[in-house]
Chain A
């Protein structure tokens, strides 16, 4: 049972809270530098109409996009890190948490939700890159684990939307253990014969990639997303040379055999729904 539940159909988040650029009617695309109209961009699911660049999207927006009729129940929006290590770098960790909360309205970098996709009751958990780089500490590990548990106790498929710079340094080894914790819960989903579809958004790196992001039955990636374990800068230093064009992008991962399909945001719902139809055929009857 969830700690608390919200049964409002969908949650409207202002687009201004979604895009990390100065407010205004016009936004410059980070990829092609063309100027796009804000309202137009919103209609286009935060995808640049010129070049197809996928702007970062919040977890709530993904739920609205993927669930039938944008109806869903949200879970675990009330878990807060306790700063177990009393960590301070240039700023105390609690201050970073408070700032991220003020900026995003979230208590941490992941939430969970239940609803239907193409008629299939489904558990989704989505990460939010805007909350301290989508980094995974104790709270994210717990939120993801609870979403996995909801799927295997209610016998539904699971969709995980990843966007993360990796594990959260400010929680030290506790962050690292979230890789093991979430992966351990996924074994139960697997043993019940329930599907896991991972949607890899930009960027998915570090510890998140080295756990649930790479443990799906099916890996869908948004176009052009950065996906990898070590960061490009570290690899460049190790290799002492420039990295090839497109290295660690979705298309590269597909070529190397780690991503099944590259799916644009506009097609994501119908693609997931088709895959669930195929996988759950007998149950759907």
Chain B
């Protein structure tokens, strides 16, 4: 049985308490085995399993947000080193500088092990840091304009050499700084949306953690949008939504619920294509199986996109995003109405 990892989340505490009790009883049994103790341990074990299932199978949206932000969750570079080989990171946007909050490069996707094939791909991804120093260096995964422009430079290079692009989304948003605004944060994101809509090679997008707002979407236009089971993706973070709509920071759980920001919410809306199942409790409980599920999903997406002519691919990409939106036409009786085709 996998031990509940360190750095538990608030809602995992009851599990941890039960686990500690179990450990204690097992230690006791080691000293003086008895049938009574065996029975008690057996009961507690089954209670532990039941609780584990009931917590992890009924995660609330806010709990999923917490899992997506877990400090031990696999980040872009972890995925890259798990299911690709020989990653050559490429730095800089050739205009201003390099952005450590965005990584980009060329690598060999190890598709062969997932029944596809090994092949060169370009990868761009938002990157968070693991400890205090690295978190600051990676700017908490919040890109500046040069990050988006670096990603675009590498994606264009992929198009030049006919290589597919894989985008890994994991950001709490674009960096809201003075200099980011001066250098055109909005223009950088807008340019990527435009250019990605016409990039003539397959693009597979995977939301691996947090997908917040235009900052995430800035590398999020593609032919297949995959999302890990406990990732979240929306127009705004639950905290900021709470602050703006409720004028208080205290409604983040309600905001998370209202925004319908989880993978199971977004699939029926046509915003994502596939959900990548995670190990019980989240990817950080068993990173290896999370990596293999992700690699497999990427392989499947790439295989589906193989051999589609670029103009067909781009038309399908346009239609995919054109279909996103829910609205109705109402008749306005006082107007002369001509029906649409």
B150, chain A: closest CB distance, angstroms: 17
Instruction: Let me know if A174 and B178 touch, CB within 8 A.
Output: no
B306-337: which residues lie under 8 A (CB-CB) from chain A?
317-318, 321-322, 324-332, 335-337
* A85–B271 CA distance with the chains assembled, in angstroms: 13
Instruction: Let me know if A176 and B326 touch, CB within 8 A.
Output: no
Cβ contacts under 8 Å, A88 to chain B:
258
What string of 1s and 0s marks CB contacts (under 8 Å) between B237-260 and chain A? 000010011100001001100111
Instruction: Let me know if A180 and B330 touch, CB within 8 A.
Output: no
A124-179: which residues lie under 8 A (CB-CB) from chain B?
137-139, 141-142, 145, 167-179
Instruction: Let me know if A181 and B325 touch, CB within 8 A.
Output: yes
Q: Given contacts A215-B190, A215-B191, A230-B180, is CB(A180)–CB(B259) below 8 Å?
A: no
Give the residue name and chain of the B residue nearest to A236 (CB). B178
A-B contact count (CB 8 A): 222
Instruction: Let me know if B214 and A3 touch, CB within 8 A.
Output: no
Stretch at the interface among B1-9, B13-21, B119-127, B181-189: B181-189
Cβ contacts under 8 Å, A248 to chain B:
181
Cβ contacts under 8 Å, A145 to chain B:
322
Q: Given contacts A85-B259, A90-B245, A178-B324, is CB(A207)–CB(B341) below 8 Å?
A: no
Instruction: Let me know if A4 and B336 touch, CB within 8 A.
Output: yes
Cβ contacts under 8 Å, B152 to chain A:
none
Instruction: Let me know if B327 and A142 touch, CB within 8 A.
Output: yes
Stretch at the interface among B38-46, B103-111, B192-200, B286-294: B192-200
Stretch at the interface among B47-55, B85-93, B228-236, B273-281: B228-236
B188, chain A: closest CB distance, angstroms: 8
Cβ contacts under 8 Å, A45 to chain B:
none
Asked if B154 is at the interface (CB within 8 A of a chain A CB), the reply is no
Instruction: Let me know if A6 and B335 touch, CB within 8 A.
Output: yes
A62-90: which residues lie under 8 A (CB-CB) from chain B?
77-82, 84-85, 87-90
* A81–B327 CA distance with the chains assembled, in angstroms: 5
CB-contact partner of B176 in A82, A180, A238, under 8 A: A238
Q: Given contacts A1-B340, A183-B190, A238-B176, is CB(A176)–CB(B217) below 8 Å?
A: yes
Instruction: Let me know if A230 and B181 touch, CB within 8 A.
Output: yes
Asked if B339 is at the interface (CB within 8 A of a chain A CB), the reply is yes
CB-contact partner of A230 in B176, B246, B322, under 8 A: B176
Instruction: Let me know if A169 and B217 touch, CB within 8 A.
Output: no
Instruction: Let me know if B337 and A213 touch, CB within 8 A.
Output: no
* A243–B335 CA distance with the chains assembled, in angstroms: 49
Cβ contacts under 8 Å, B234 to chain A:
172-173, 176
Instruction: Let me know if A256 and B338 touch, CB within 8 A.
Output: no
Instruction: Let me know if B191 and A214 touch, CB within 8 A.
Output: yes
Cβ contacts under 8 Å, A84 to chain B:
269, 326
Asked if A5 is at the interface (CB within 8 A of a chain B CB), the reply is yes
Instruction: Let me know if B321 and A184 touch, CB within 8 A.
Output: yes
Instruction: Let me know if A176 and B186 touch, CB within 8 A.
Output: no
Q: Given contacts A174-B269, A185-B322, is CB(A258)–CB(B187) below 8 Å?
A: yes
Instruction: Let me know if B327 and A210 touch, CB within 8 A.
Output: no
Instruction: Let me know if A178 and B325 touch, CB within 8 A.
Output: yes
B321, chain A: closest CB distance, angstroms: 5
Give the residue name and chain of the A residue nearest to B319 (CB). A184
Cβ contacts under 8 Å, B221 to chain A:
180, 183-184
* A273–B180 CA distance with the chains assembled, in angstroms: 33
Instruction: Let me know if A243 and B245 touch, CB within 8 A.
Output: no
Cβ contacts under 8 Å, B197 to chain A:
180, 183-184, 187
Instruction: Let me know if B182 and A256 touch, CB within 8 A.
Output: yes
A13, chain B: closest CB distance, angstroms: 15
Asked if B65 is at the interface (CB within 8 A of a chain A CB), the reply is no
Asked if B220 is at the interface (CB within 8 A of a chain A CB), the reply is yes
Asked if B213 is at the interface (CB within 8 A of a chain A CB), the reply is yes
Give the residue name and chain of the A residue nearest to B222 (CB). A180
Give the residue name and chain of the A residue nearest to B183 (CB). A256
Instruction: Let me know if B266 and A3 touch, CB within 8 A.
Output: no
Give the residue name and chain of the A residue nearest to B190 (CB). A214
Give the residue name and chain of the A residue nearest to B176 (CB). A230
Q: Given contacts A173-B261, A180-B321, is CB(A214)–CB(B339) below 8 Å?
A: no
Cβ contacts under 8 Å, B321 to chain A:
177, 180-181, 184
* A268–B73 CA distance with the chains assembled, in angstroms: 52
* A234–B142 CA distance with the chains assembled, in angstroms: 14
Q: Given contacts A169-B241, A176-B214, is CB(A141)–CB(B258) below 8 Å?
A: no
Instruction: Let me know if B177 and A213 touch, CB within 8 A.
Output: no
Cβ contacts under 8 Å, B181 to chain A:
228-230, 235, 247-248
* A210–B174 CA distance with the chains assembled, in angstroms: 11
A181-195: which residues lie under 8 A (CB-CB) from chain B?
181, 183-188, 190-191
Cβ contacts under 8 Å, B235 to chain A:
167-169, 171-173, 175-176, 207
CB-contact partner of B322 in A169, A181, A235, under 8 A: A181
For the complex of A and B, 4 pairs with smallest distance between CB atoms: A138-B325, A230-B176, A183-B193, A184-B197
29 contacts between A and B (CB under 8 A): A1-B338, A7-B336, A77-B332, A80-B329, A81-B327, A85-B258, A85-B259, A87-B258, A88-B258, A168-B235, A175-B235, A177-B321, A177-B325, A179-B217, A180-B220, A183-B194, A183-B221, A187-B318, A210-B186, A210-B218, A211-B190, A215-B194, A228-B181, A229-B186, A230-B185, A235-B176, A235-B177, A243-B178, A244-B178
B positions within 8 Å CB-CB of A: 174-178, 180-187, 189-191, 193-194, 197-198, 213-214, 217-218, 220-221, 233-236, 241, 244-246, 251, 254-255, 258-261, 266, 269, 271, 317-318, 321-322, 324-332, 335-341
Given contacts A89-B255, A169-B241, A183-B197, 11 further A-B contacts (CB under 8 A): A2-B338, A4-B337, A77-B335, A85-B258, A167-B213, A179-B189, A190-B194, A210-B189, A210-B190, A210-B218, A235-B177
